[in-house]
């Protein structure tokens, strides 16, 4: 497993997005735990979660509690494992995902995450999404207070633009270590943020990284699906996969890693074999010819998406 830098830490270049283990279509607990253990066996040291990763109306923290149980029951060394969690969103019954960036809420959310994870300090705590009803600086200020109190060790922001990244950097200094935005072959809206994080030395954690290759629950109805090999604008990923004897998802993750030296991929998984396959992308070196072909496919696919 290759590694990349997150603040002053070394983490696996491919992490595990644990969300699918707790939302719609989630596996039973035995398979969920086996999925996390398979990722750890493959060298994954970054586990991404949030207090809002649960079914609508369910008590917050299902995914955090699950990861805590997975680490306790794992037979190997977990000292190097970093759990990155987030606060500031909710999933009430019968409603869309909500946003709450009030500093009081973020403090209570972080303290709840601390209890559920069973740690003295959260390794990486991220503002899940800016709240339009709360000044961004106030929300980030809550992270600064949590850092100063030692309740969190490192901080990150998610679903932000370049101006918000710079604002967070001004407030948190070098304790801001990561940005988590949506980014994939199909969705390139965060290209400016990707470039800025590389320039600032911040880790970029793309969520829903397999967009265009397969779908997540956040991509809307339909669950997980992928185009038939050779079909659709992203068929080049399938062509490279057939030539290499690997999955299109692994090719996608390797392409993502080529986009920036500070990018850390966090694909979701709900089966052990998927977690192992994703981890293998860290060792897949794409050739210049393959990268050129994939870049052309990405440009075509994004243009088609923009055209509707």
Distance CA 165, CA 179 (A): 8
Q: Name the catalytic one among 53, 74, 125, 183.
A: 53
| DSSP E strand stretches across the chain | 3-6, 9-12, 16-17, 46-48, 82-87, 89-90, 98-99, 122-127, 152-158, 176-180, 203-204
CA gap 291, 289 in Å, rounded: 5
Residue 61, both tokens: 């923290």
- How many whole angstroms separate alpha carbon 304 and alpha carbon 150? 47
**Integer Cα distance of 83 and 267 in angstroms:** 15
Task: Tell me, yes or no, if 53 is annotated catalytic.
Answer: yes
Rounded to whole angstroms, the Cα distance separating 59 from 57 reads 7
Chain Cα centroid distance, residue 180:
6
Catalytic positions, written as ranges = 53
């Amino acid at each position: 497993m290759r590694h990349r830098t997150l603040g002053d830490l070394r983490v696996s270049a491919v992490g595990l997005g644990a969300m699918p283990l707790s939302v719609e279509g989630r596996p039973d607990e035995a398979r969920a735990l086996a999925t996390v253990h398979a990722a750890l066996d493959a060298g994954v040291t970054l586990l991404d979660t949030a207090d809002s990763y649960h079914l609508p109306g369910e008590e917050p923290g299902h995914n955090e509690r699950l990861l805590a149980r997975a680490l306790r029951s794992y037979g190997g060394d977990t000292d190097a494992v970093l759990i990155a969690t987030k606060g500031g969103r909710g999933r009430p019954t019968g409603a869309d995902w909500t946003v709450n960036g009030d500093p009081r809420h973020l403090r209570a959310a972080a303290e709840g995450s601390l209890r559920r994870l069973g740690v003295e300090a959260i390794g990486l705590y991220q503002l899940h999404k800016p709240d339009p009803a709360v000044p961004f600086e106030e929300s980030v200020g809550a992270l600064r207070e949590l850092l100063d109190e030692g309740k969190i060790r490192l901080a990150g922001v998610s679903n932000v633009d370049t101006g918000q990244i710079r604002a967070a950097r001004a407030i948190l200094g070098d304790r801001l270590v990561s940005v988590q935005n949506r980014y994939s072959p199909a969705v390139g809206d965060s290209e400016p943020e990707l470039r800025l994080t590389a320039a600032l030395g911040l880790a970029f954690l793309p969520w829903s990284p397999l967009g265009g290759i397969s779908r997540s629950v956040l991509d809307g109805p339909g669950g997980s699906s992928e185009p038939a090999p050779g079909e659709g604008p992203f068929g080049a990923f399938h062509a490279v996969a057939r030539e290499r004897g690997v999955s299109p998802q692994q090719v996608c993750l390797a392409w993502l890693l080529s986009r920036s030296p500070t990018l850390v991929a966090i694909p979701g998984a709900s089966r052990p074999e998927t977690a192992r396959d994703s981890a293998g992308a860290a060792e897949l070196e794409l050739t210049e010819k393959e990268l050129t072909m994939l870049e052309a496919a990405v440009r075509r696919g994004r243009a088609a998406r923009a055209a509707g």
